[in-house]
Amino acid sequence: MPVEQALKNRSNNNCELCTSNDALVVYPVPPTSDLSAQQSIYICQNCLSQIEGQSELDLNHWRCLNDSMWNQEPAVQVMSYRILHKLSAESWAQDALEMIYMEDEVKKWAEQGIAAERSNGPTRDSNGTELQDGDNVTLIKDLKVKGANFTAKQGTMVRGITLTENPEHIEGKVNGTRIVLVSAFLKKA
C-alpha cells in the first residue's frame, strides 16, 4: 500500500496534528525519515507552512497539540513534542511538555530533530531579522519572568544580548537580572 494511502487510512483523512481535512500532504519527519508511513505524518498546509517556517507560528492553532501529543503513532508524538518545545515560552505548552509521555526511542528521535534545528539556523527576531551577539532588542509583548517575580514590559530595551546554543533563545539583562528570552518575542532595535 502506498504511503499516502496508509496515512489517509491511519488519520481518517484528517491532519494528524490539528484534525483539519483541508489540503493534506505527507510530511516525512526529519532528520532521518525513511519515507515510510511509520516515519511520516499526514498534515494540512497550515501546519506544514508553520513547521517549515514559511509562516509565523500561530499560538492558538497549536493548542491542538494538547490532543495530538497523546496519539499512539510515534511520528505524531515526535512532531507534537518538537512544536511544543518551540512554544515552550508559553505556559500551556510548558505544561504539555511536562505531561507528555514517549518511549525512550521516540523521545530520542524527537530530540534529534531539535538538535538538528539548533545547529542549522541563525537566531532571528520576530520579524525574521538575524540577531548577533551585542545587538540591542526590544520586547514586543509583556513577559512574565519565571523565578524573578517581575514582568518584563513590552517595549523594554535589552542591550548587548548574548546568543545561546539554541537559536530560539538569547540572554540579556532586564531590570538588572540576566535572563533567557525567546527570540520570537523580540525585535532588533
Provide the CATH number for the domain around residue 165.
2.30.30.40
SS3 content of the chain, % helix, strand, coil (to 5): 35, 20, 40
Beta bridge partners of 27: 41
81-116 pLDDT, tens digit per residue, is 999 988 888 888 889 988 999 999 999 998 888 777
Please indicate, yes or no, if residue 128 is contained in any of the structural domains. Answer: no
Same domain, 155 and 96: no
The mean pLDDT value of the chain amounts to 87
Residue 175 banded pLDDT, cuts 50, 70, 90:
confident
Tell me how many domains the chain contains.
2
Q: Give the pTM.
A: 0.63
Contacts of 138 (CB under 8 A, 6+ apart): 155, 156, 157, 158, 186, 187, 189
Same domain, 29 and 115: yes
14-50 pLDDT, tens digit per residue, is 999 999 998 999 999 887 667 888 899 999 999 998 8
Rounded to an integer, the average pLDDT of 50-60 is 85
